[in-house]
Amino acid sequence: MRIRSRLQQDVGDVEYRSWLRQMTLAGIDGDEATVLLPTRFLRDWVRSHYGEKITMLWQQANPAIRRVEIRVGKSRSVEAPAGEDRAFGGLAESLAPQPAPPQLSPRPVSHAVVRVAEEMTAPLDPRFTFDSFVVGKPNEFAYACARRVAENPGCKEFNPLFLYGGVGLGKTHLMHAVGLELTRRGAPPATVAYMSAEKFMYRFIAAIRSQQTIEFKDHLRSVDVLMIDDLQFLIGKDNTQEEFFHTFNALVDAGKQIVVSADKSPSDLSGLEDRLRTRLGCGMVADLHATTYELRISILEAKCTRAQAEVPGRVLEFLAHKITTNVRELEGSLNRLIAHAHLFNRPITLETAQEVLHDILKAHDKRVTIDEIQRRVAEHYNMRIGDMVSARRARAVARPRQVAMYLAKQLTSRSLPEIGKKFGNRDHTTVMHACSRVNELIAADSSFAEDVNLLKKMLES
């Protein structure tokens, strides 16, 4: 995957757009890559905040690179030699395969195994430690479980450790913290394989294609700790689930630790095979609850201390009030404020905060409700609003109802069961079906797609 999109994915859109979008590749010289940013300020900021991460991603994409130099300059794409004239992501793309950092590599078994193994684990972000994780009521249980696993991996009551919760609440952070602790400490350090469920699937498919499934399995089963992030991705991917299930059993039987994260609890992950679901719930299941105002304030304060930035309490309170769902966004907003203050050499005030975060705050103020979606969609298709919740199944009412369910899923943070309930107490599988049906129609029928898009725009504006 391109370094650029990896970065974007890791740091989130807000931060990426603020700091990293303008970065270009100047060139590669021996073991050093040079990237450029247009101003000194941006260079310093990127160097201190993302330097480590950028180097890590580069090394992952191209093992020959040892250093990444971050400099001020504009890309000279026209004069650059062929192959270096693209944004740095493009170049990296051609530099497969991606090896793991050395401390995570497994014991070499055979050539083929090494090759598969190298591609197996994603790097752990050095910033995601237990120390930098702010503990409060909503996450203290998950935190304690993660700590316990890091201290005593493979212990029966905590195997697997299943972490679940909404986006940006710290699941990935805690998993990395466990992994970092285990690879740093311990003699010998544990072999940790961490990857997203998506990556797991792609690796598995690639192994099948290159007839390396045995190596794939051998490698996975040789690690001490296997961590799979965002397991919900495997819903509906039956073969991959099957493979994961067998790996899972082999590892647990051998006393190895498994850590899994998902957006829902095992019992709510419908679409996952029953026996897998059962096994996932057999160890410790820990929920990361939505943040409270107090926790958000503590997180903001911790980030200010780390960044050595003075931000007035009133501004922190304002942020904690306004940005409530996702810690990543909360962090991104604070970073943006701090940078803005440096850039213009102006103190941070409530007014500047409102101005600088205008776009983010707007998105948060605007929360579409399911009622509003039903009303708009019914209007658009000329049907009675009552038919949104009625049992009628005629196409003329069923299709708009499906569209409304689809939009409810897209535009609100409601869960499938909650949406089903608002549509005349329908089952969550009905909502799921509606979403996939609408997706199919969007792909197949451009005028339908336009219609849905228009509705979406109307509801969002």
Q: How far is the CB of 176 from Mg ion (least distance, A)?
A: 10
Residues 6+ apart with CB under 8 A from 321: 293
| Helix segments in 132-170, DSSP class H | 140-151
Which x/- pattern over 310-339 shows residues binding ligand ADP (rule: CB under 6 A)?
Answer: -----------------xx--x--------
Judged by CB under 5 A, the residue of 121, 159, 172, 212 near Mg ion is 172
Query: Residue 367 CB, nearest distance to ligand ADP (Å)?
Result: 20
167 lines the binding site for ligand ADP (CB under 6 A): yes
Cβ proximity of 416 and 448 under 8 Å: no
- Phi, psi (rounded to 5 degrees) for 95: -105, 40
How is residue 107 annotated by DSSP? P
Cis peptide before 160 (omega within 30 of 0): yes
**CA–CA separation, 439 and 445 (whole Å):** 10
CB of 10 to ligand ADP, least distance (A): 8
Told to check if 168 binds ligand ADP by CB under 6 A, we report: yes
Residue nearest to ligand ADP (CB): 170
> Which one of the spans 67-75, 79-87, 163-171, 375-383 is the region binding Mg ion (CB under 5 A)?
163-171
338 touches, from Mg ion, ligand ADP, none (C-beta below 5 to 8 Å by class): none
Q: Which is nearer to ligand ADP, 224 or 331 (CB)?
A: 331
Q: Residue 182: which of ligand ADP, Mg ion, none does it interact with, CB under 5 to 8 A by kind?
A: none
* Residues written for the chain: 461
> Which of Mg ion, ligand ADP, none sits in contact with 332, Cβ below 5 to 8 A by type?
none
> Which lies closer to ligand ADP via its Cβ, residue 53 or residue 203?
53
The total of other beta-carbon atoms located within 10 Å of residue 214's CB is: 12
CB of 326 to ligand ADP, least distance (A): 7
Q: CA 322 to CA 319: how far, in whole Å?
A: 5
CB of 244 to ligand ADP, least distance (A): 19
Q: How is residue 271 annotated by DSSP? A: T
Beta carbon nearer to ligand ADP, 280 or 397: 280
Choices 106-114, 168-176, 194-202, 369-377 (CB under 6 A): range interacting with ligand ADP: 168-176
Q: Let me know if 209 is exposed, middle or buried by CB neighbors in 10 A (0-12, 13-18, 19+).
A: exposed
Cis upstream peptide for 108 (omega within 30°): no
- Structure tokens belonging to residue 284: 């410790």
> Which residues neighbour 101 within 8 Å (Cβ) at sequence distance 6 or greater?
56, 59, 60, 123
- What residues numbered 122-151 form the site for ligand ADP, per CB under 6 A? 128, 132-134, 139
- In this structure, what token pair is assigned to residue 427? 């089952």
149 token code pair:
């696993």
Nearer Cβ to Mg ion (36/269): 269
Residue 86 binding: pick among ligand ADP, Mg ion, none (C-beta 5-8 Å cut-off by kind): none
Task: Choose the one of Mg ion, ligand ADP, none that binds residue 299, judging by a C-beta under 5 to 8 angstroms depending on kind.
Answer: ligand ADP
Q: Burial-class residue 306 by CB neighbours within 10 Å (0-12, 13-18, 19+).
A: exposed
Nearer to ligand ADP, 172 or 402 (CB): 172
| Part of the chain binding ligand ADP (CB under 6 A), chosen from 19-27, 170-178, 193-201, 396-404 | 170-178
Which two structure tokens, joined as six digits, stand for 448? 């339908």
Note the residues at the interface with ligand ADP (CB under 6 A). 128, 132-134, 139, 165, 167-173, 299, 327-328, 331
